[in-house]
Amino acid sequence: MPVHRAALSVPALVASLLGLSVLLLAAGVSAGSEGWSLNWRADADLISAIRAPRSLGAWVAGALLGLAGALAQGLFRNPLADPFLLGSAAGAGLGVVLVLVAGGAAGVTLGLAQAGWLLQAGLVSAAFVGALAGVLLTLLLAGGAARPMRLLLCGVVVGVLMGSLSDLLLILSPEALRGKQVFLLGTTGFLGWQHVAWMAGSLVWLLPLARRLARVLDALVLGEASASSLGLNLPRLRLGLVALMALATACAVSQAGLVAFVGLVAPHIVRRWVVVTHAGLLALSALSGGVLLLAADVLARSVIAPQELPVGVVTALLGGGYLLWLLRQQTRPA
Amino acid sequence: MLGATVMTWSGWLRAGRCLALAAWALGSGLALADITVVDDRGHTVALKGPAQRVITLLPSLTESVCALQACDRLVGTDRYSNWPASVRNLPKLAGLEDTPIERIVSLKPDVVLAAVSSRAVDRLEALGIRVLALEPKSLQDTRRMLETVATVLGRPGEGERLWASIEGRVQAVAQGVPARFKGQAVYFEVATAPYAAGQASFVGEALQRLGLANIVPPAMGAFPKLNPEFVVRAQPGLVMASVDAVADMRKRPGWASIQALQQGRACAFPEAQFDLLVRPGPRLGEATELVAACLKALPAPAPASGARP
Amino acid sequence: MSADLLTASGLSLSLGGRRVVDGVSLSLHAGQWVALVGPNGAGKSSLLSILAGLRPPDEGLITLAGRAMTQWPARDRARQLAWLSQQGEAEGDIAVADVVRLGRLPHLGLIGQAGPDDEQIVQAAMAETECLALAGRRLSALSGGERQRVLLARALAVQAPVLLLDEPTTHLDAPHQHDLVRSLVRQARAGRAVAAVLHDLNLALAADRLLVMAQGRLQADGAPSDPAVRATLEAVFAHAFRIERFGQRWVAVPDLDTP
């Protein structure tokens, strides 16, 4: 087993991540469509209206995803778990497609457009409700959160079912495809102050609540039976953790789309540098998730300015690249 | 078996006869092929005569065939072709991801017109079906596509004539565009994110014929994904998009400051019209008429508007 | 007569149509350590998890400290009874000290902060199993033997009156196995009721009492000094060895002579 090198202390990691966040926020505020510009006074209204909320929004969305990812990996005791495992991604996608289709010609024929409330709800609410609905369906199918294996399997089933449903709808209404593609690839472009407020407001109570349940995840390290023997009501507690994970994912995904890899990689980044219990891991994963998505957003808009890469592509490159590096580190002899 | 027969004299004779037959067949095949065209992949496709049974797998190609007065030769189209009304009764042969290869083969088409990006192309060619891959992106592409299709239909030159009439129609429309909009920069949004139609796209080129400029220069490509800040900075004189998109634009952070939106200089096209605008086919003239009609109803640009420094 | 901390009567469990535990009755006394032995598939692990309240039996009754097992709220039961699972399940990246600290979970709950007493107990447990030096290391970075000692320390940290251990000697080398047995003896002498499933018969024969299981049934229940118990032990293992006296101890001598 390779002995871990160069570890940081927890305060050092927190300081680094916070420092990175500040740097990236400064970068985010300077990265305009014309390239880099440090003349903040001249661009003041662009900064306040577009760049600042967008950068902050990316950070908060990333923090929510990082938290959800850490919850997922602790719940399923699998370092490759991500927050989209229980049908939240497919559910959000279906919600988005439903709204897009309802607005199109096919929606009229299907009578969907009669449900004016569908259109009124908008894409954001549809994605949010859809994500939660996906997880709820998974929980119903699995009969609660008592058996994690069954939960995972049902999550896969729900994901496939909802994915097929949305594909079916897309056949009827192909103009919705563009909208769905955009959603799938993730977009931070239109994050405004109200979106930031909404996401930050969610993070502010989701994180402490999750930390209160963090010891359950620690106990799960010992195994199901041992955790039970420590007096924990695992089915109920796991249900609570799943609910928190679903909410964090739904918040992030409804605003920023299905951003890949942030939830998966954020906890790995933390574990690479420090050894912490889950209470610390949840908070630090949120921090590193924020840094990751903000970095991706800044890159996405500065690399080919004034054009923009889809932020989900950049996170996949960054996150995937990091995982590759991690793999090479592990296979190297100690 | 062949090896054994070649050993004998009669074997040699038989082999020689086979070779001669093959050579004649090849030669006659070439001699009978009197139509050769090059498609957008650079492949040369040869037909024995004008195509009588045509399958189209892209709406703009369907429309082109019908515009060239050969609608009756269509034996099948893709699912999204909806103009003219008569094609709606034809067998629907392709969606976005699926193409029923077997059904296409059973319809025995003389040629299949498909998009370059269609995955069915290779499979159909492997089965011996002649496929023309055509996917126009600019006006020049559209012109070439029309002539290629016309040639394949046995009517060379019809494509050029059709193009000339389209050009003429666009010219007429251009003259009807109110002078107050000449030279105004347009922001044409094709999809949220936002994806814009730049000057290099056929949409941009068509708008250019109407005397309109574009906030997206040719260097950025045909349909770039933009940083939303770019649009706000550019302060387009005109905004054109689908109805939903225009409604959404006002809510986007920072976009309220776009004067074109504030002053109502936005063309919000309903779904059916928007589809027409983004289809590079023979109805380009009609598309430009839609744009002109919208422009006529818009208020004049305020004199102080212009791009941000 | 030492107190009966855990009693079971008529326990039965069927899994997949097979009776893995068949009418087992026993009691664990304070101050005694008991070795549960038997051939593979005898039902030892299943019995232990039933006794720990982790798996409900199909039939039978368990009483823990005078109260029926089903009446015990989970957290209170966790303070009365500590259970160590067969290794292989524990996997994660948290520090060794934090793993052992999990043993205080039944006392602290999910949000209680560990006080100086708890810390002292955790340190003592780690000292007992010689893993103080590993305190800051990740669980996933340990060898099998190191991990076993850490998990054992976790079970000891609960300081429960009843201690149930499923094959605690797995992965441990001989010196550490002996340390473990000495530790179990100490726990018993401190007044706890200890029961451990053991594969190594020489270690098991050092116990205060032997529970010999075969085919789901309790075949013998008594001290190693009881000849009937020794005879049953030899019988359930198909006389693969003889039990001989060696000084103060009983040892199992393998019969390796070819017939």
pLDDT for C120 beyond 50: yes
Q: Do C91 and A228 touch (CB under 8 A)?
A: no
Percentage, residues of chain C above pLDDT 70: 98
Q: What is the pLDDT of residue B9?
A: 62
Answer whether C141 touches A (CB < 8 Å).
yes
Residue C217's DSSP bridge partners are C214
Q: What is the overall mean pLDDT for chain A? A: 88
Nearest-CA distance C12 → chain A (Å): 20
Asked if B108 is an interface residue toward chain A (Cβ–Cβ < 8 A), one would say no
Output the CA–CA distances (angstroms, integers) from residue B287 to A135, B80, B188, B206, B277, in the order listed. Answer: 45, 18, 14, 9, 5
Segments in chain B below pLDDT 70: 1-33, 96-97, 301-309
Place of tokens 């029961």: C195
Give chain C positions within 8 Å (CB) of A225: 49, 54, 83, 85, 89
Q: Are strands B111-114 and B54-56 parallel, antiparallel or unpaired?
A: parallel
Residue C130 has pLDDT above 70, yes or no: yes
Model confidence over A126-142: pLDDT tens digits? 899 999 999 999 999 99
Give per-residue pLDDT as tens, C164-194.
999 999 889 999 999 999 999 999 999 999 9
- How many other C-beta atoms are found inside a 10 Å radius of the C-beta of residue A259? 33
In whole angstroms, what is the distance from residue A83 CA to residue A65 CA?
7
Please check the confidence at residue C46 and state whether its pLDDT lies above 50.
yes
pTM confidence score? 0.85
> Do chains A and C meet with 3 or more Cβ pairs nearer than 8 Å?
yes
* B-contacting chains (≥3 CB pairs under 8 Å): A
pLDDT number for residue B31: 47
ipTM of the complex: 0.92
Helix/strand/coil for C127: helix
Contact A275, C94 (CB under 8 A): yes
Which of A32, A177, A191 is facing B229, going by the closest CB pair?
A: A32
| Cβ C213 vs Cβ C193: under 8 Å | no
Residue B98 DSSP one-character state: -
Is residue C10 pLDDT above 50, yes or no?
yes
Please give the DSSP secondary-structure letter assigned to residue B252: S
* Residue of C55, C72, C75, C94 to mutate, testing the A interface (most A Cβ within 10 Å of its Cβ): C94
Report residue A235's pLDDT band, with 50, 70 and 90 as the boundaries.
very high
Beta bridge partners of B45: B37
Nearest CA in chain B to A57: B253
Q: Encoding tokens for residue C172? A: 């441990």
The sign of the dihedral angle between the CA atoms of B253, B257, B258, B264 is: positive
Range scoring the smallest mean pLDDT among A168-177, B126-135, C20-29:
A168-177
Closest CA relative to residue C9, chosen from C223, C220, C218 = C218
Q: Which residue has the higher pLDDT, B269 or A123?
A: B269
For C98-119, how does the pLDDT look when each residue is reduced to its tens digit (9 = 90+)?
999 999 999 999 989 999 999 9
Mean pLDDT of A179-201: 87
Contact B194 A189 (CB under 8 A): yes
Q: Which residues of A touch C54 (CB under 8 A)?
A: 225, 228-229
Q: Are B132 and B113 in contact (CB under 8 A)?
A: yes
**Rounded mean pLDDT of A190-218?**
95
More confident site: A99 or C99 = C99
CA atoms within 13 A on the CB side of C81: 33
Nearest to B291 by CA among B261, B275, B267: B267
Q: Exposed (0-12), middle (13-18) or buried (19+): which is C183, by Cβ within 10 Å?
A: buried
Site of tokens 């699926």: B98
Residue A227 has pLDDT above 90, yes or no: yes
pLDDT at position C77 over 60? yes
Over residues C211-236, mean pLDDT: 93
User: For the stretch A211-234, what's the b/e string if a residue is b when 16 or more beta carbons lie within 10 angstroms of its beta carbon?
Assistant: bebbbbbbbbbbbbbbbbbbbbeb
Dump strand ranges (E) for chain C.
Answer: 4-15, 18-29, 32-37, 59-64, 67-68, 81-84, 162-166, 193-197, 209-214, 217-222, 241-246, 249-254
C66: left (phi over 0), alpha (psi -120 to 50) or beta: left
**Structure token pair of residue C29:** 């006394």
Compute φ and ψ for C214, nearest 5 degrees: -155, 135
CB C51 within 8 A of CB C25: no
